[in-house]
């Protein structure tokens, strides 16, 4: 059986920077031991092929592949994490970091406004920040194996929840409508990302507000 676009699959993979062989992402426990990733949290990744749940070059490579075979692909920056954009290197007031009780130093990588950034320099109240993805401009190599295809609808829905919401909500599924049971603060989030469920699974998304858990 070969993999086609829109198939849901369970996949194990390791991503490395091609030039250094450094692991930057993995969901294989033996490879995770070489990184700072907690191996206890490692598990296979379930995704829908062709829907940008992986870098483009990796996602495209899945089509036509077979289950339980191992593959390796080298991906150029433009099909991985993008080319470096000089305009994404910006000078910002150091006080923005101080307000978050952070003392910016050269080489530091931190999350700023939900985005991972790198500090290039900091002096006289100004800090030079690189907003490019840390892997931008780098060729990467993935080794992977497709464990199986996923046909269970609940498993598909939960996989999309984990990817889109970073949470898994209870839900009711009736005909072509899925109703997520969410606390009030999550309702706008579900409405915003609901169209992706319709695009991938053909399911209209609704939300039902439930009492917040104590």
Give me the CATH number covering residue 214: 3.30.70
CATH code of residue 53? 3.10.50.40
Same domain, 70 and 16: yes
Same domain assignment for residues 126 and 143: no
- Confidence at residue 212, expressed as pLDDT on a 0 to 100 scale: 72
Q: Are 196 and 171 in contact (CB under 8 A)?
A: no
Span 85-106, pLDDT tens digits? 999 999 999 998 888 888 999 9
Residues whose CB is less than 8 angstroms from the CB of residue 194 and which lie 6 or more positions away in sequence, other chains included: 204, 205, 206, 207
pLDDT of residue 1: 83
Q: What's the number of domains the chain is made of? A: 3
Indicate whether 158 belongs to any domain: no
Whether 162 is in a domain gets the answer no
Q: What is the pLDDT of residue 40?
A: 74
Tens of pLDDT, residue by residue, the chain (214 residues)? 899 999 999 999 999 999 999 999 999 998 988 887 777 778 889 999 999 999 999 999 999 999 999 999 999 999 999 999 999 999 999 998 888 888 999 999 887 766 788 999 999 899 999 999 989 999 999 999 999 999 999 999 999 999 999 899 999 999 899 999 999 999 998 999 999 999 999 999 999 999 876 5
Tell me: do 45 and 77 sit in the same domain.
yes
User: Is 119 inside any structural domain?
Assistant: yes
Shared domain for 90 and 79, answered yes or no, is: no
CATH code of the domain containing 104: 2.40.10.330
User: Considering the domain boundaries, does residue 101 fall inside one?
Assistant: yes
The pLDDT of residue 43: 87
Query: Are residues 68 and 114 both part of a single domain?
Result: no
| Spatial contact of 25 and 34, defined as CB atoms under 8 Å apart | no
Whether 70 is covered by a domain: the verdict is yes
Any idea which residue has 């191992």 for tokens?
Answer: 70
Residues 7, 60 within the same domain: yes
User: Tell me, what's the pLDDT at 113?
Assistant: 66
Residues 96 and 191 in one domain: no
Is 93 within the bounds of a domain? yes
Same domain, 73 and 106: no
Q: With residue 10 as reference, give the H or E element that holds it.
A: strand 8-17
Average pLDDT, the chain: 92
- pLDDT value at residue 149: 97
**74/141 same-domain check:** yes
- C-alpha 87/C-alpha 107 separation (Å) is 19
Q: Is residue 156 part of a domain?
A: no
In contact, 205 and 198? CB cutoff 8 Å: yes
Shared domain for 144 and 203, answered yes or no, is no
147: left (phi over 0), alpha (psi -120 to 50) or beta: alpha
Q: pLDDT at position 213, please?
A: 64
Give the β-pairing of 177-182 and 170-174. antiparallel
Contact 176, 205 (CB under 8 A): no
The pLDDT assigned to 114 comes to 66
Domain that holds residue 57: 1-84+137-151
Residue 163 lies in a domain: no
Residues 100 and 78 in one domain: no
DSSP category for residue 212 = P
d(CA 104, CA 109): 9
Within this chain, do residues 8 and 60 fall inside the same structural domain, yes or no? yes
């Amino acid at each position: 059986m070969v993999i086609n676009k829109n198939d849901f699959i369970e996949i194990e993979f390791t991503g490395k920077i091609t030039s250094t062989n450094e692991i930057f992402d993995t969901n294989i426990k033996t490879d995770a031991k070489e990184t700072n990733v907690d191996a206890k949290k490692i598990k296979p990744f379930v995704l829908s092929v062709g829907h940008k749940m992986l870098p483009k070059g990796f996602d495209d490579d899945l089509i036509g592949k077979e289950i339980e075979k191992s593959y390796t692909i080298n991906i150029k920056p433009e099909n991985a994490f993008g080319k470096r954009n000089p305009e994404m290197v910006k000078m910002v007031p150091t006080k923005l970091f101080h307000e978050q009780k952070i003392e910016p130093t050269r080489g530091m990588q931190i999350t700023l406004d939900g985005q991972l950034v790198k500090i290039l320099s900091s002096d006289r109240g100004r800090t030079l920040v690189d907003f490019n993805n840390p892997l931008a401009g780098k060729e990467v190599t993935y080794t992977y194996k497709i464990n199986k295809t996923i046909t269970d609808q609940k498993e598909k829905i939960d996989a999309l929840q984990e990817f889109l919401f970073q949470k898994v909500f209870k839900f009711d599924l009736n005909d072509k409508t899925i109703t997520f049971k969410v606390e009030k603060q999550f309702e706008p989030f579900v409405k915003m990302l609901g169209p992706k469920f319709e695009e991938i699974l053909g399911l209209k998304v609704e939300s039902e507000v439930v009492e917040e858990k104590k």
